[in-house]
A = this chain, B = another copy of it.
Amino acid sequence: MRLVTFQFIDRQPRVGVVIGDTIIDLAAAAPLVFDDPPPPPWRLLDVLEGMPDGMGLDGAAEIVAAVIDQIGGADDEGMETSRYGPLTIGGVEMLIPLDEAHLLAPLPRPPSLRCFEASERHMAALARLHGGGMPYYWYERPIFAFGNHAAIYGPDAKIPLPRTTAFDYELEVACVIGRAGRDIPLDEANDYIAGYVLLNDWTARDVQHEELIAGFAFSKSKDAATSLGPWLATPDELDEYTLDGGHFNLTLIARVNGIEQSRGNLRDLAYTFAQMAAAASQDCTLYPGDIIACGAIGGSLLEATDGQGPWIEPDDLVELEAAGLGVLRNRIVVRDFLRA
């Protein structure tokens, strides 16, 4: 399933599943499967937390199957809303044309954000920025910093340029935790992952350089914005890219104003998402909706320009793309205080 958070007509965010050019509104369609489900709208976080009534992703899949059954099956291209016309229950539309909806980040306000650094190439680039070598510690277990989960931007959202002269994207994938766990054994960790999503960990390299020197990284270099979207892909969506050992053979591409600047592959992660989730859960509890970003496995301008820039500027359009995960597109805008 490709799970989205969207707005349609009113401004209330809802959770849906994208098939072809159509969004199935999960709450609206829930009566096809469940007796007396809570009224719309639902949030993706509610679904991940198993509400209503322990429903969870399995229940969401049942709802999707019921809708597809009701309309006589989805074709290879998914569903074309126009072929079926409005499909309603009790006057509530179950099918929303994708192009009439406004997509938000799948989790507009996730409970937490952990930014791992699982790429040796990117870690080495950071070490050069720092003026140091690779820390031995990085080879012993995956390392991360907590990020600002209150500054999440969605697909097509405008990113206000923060106070920096060296703004950079980071081409990443994150996994989203699907159920609570503490001291999760490595061989069970995949069961705690609800799905995967493209993530852009926007970074101010000039500020980061100072933070690295201070030995207290990272905060202001990364707290202005993190983009997430366009959808949360459940693990089955990536089946064809899955390698033995928990890695994915999945190419990641970043374009700035239409020109490719970075290309990477998830198979080059030094640590799997299961390893990152297990490590994160040591001595503390992970909760549904927690985000675990892998680090700039796909690269950034730091690598693409060998740390020299040019960097991201106002009006630049940055696109991250991966098969199965879609395109995460954001335009940079001048900050409000500069306009004022």
Contact = CB atoms under 8 A, between A and B. Distances in A.
A132 B335 CA distance: 36
Contacts of A145: 145-146, 216-219
Given A150-B287, A163-B282, A284-B151, A143 B219 contact: yes
Contacts of A147: 146
A219 B144 contact: yes
Contacts of A111: 150
A132 B131 CA distance: 14
Contact of A223 (B138, B149, B217, B283): B283
A219 B285 CA distance: 14
B114 A219 contact: yes
Interface centre among A111, A138, A214, A220 (most CB of B within 10 A): A214
Interface of A: 111-112, 114, 117, 126-127, 130, 132, 135-138, 143-151, 160, 162-163, 183, 210-220, 223-225, 279, 282-285, 287, 290, 335, 337
29 contacts: A112-B149, A114-B219, A117-B216, A126-B215, A127-B215, A130-B215, A135-B210, A135-B213, A135-B214, A136-B213, A137-B210, A138-B216, A144-B216, A145-B145, A145-B216, A146-B146, A146-B147, A146-B148, A148-B284, A150-B285, A162-B283, A162-B284, A163-B282, A183-B337, A212-B215, A215-B215, A216-B218, A220-B279, A225-B284
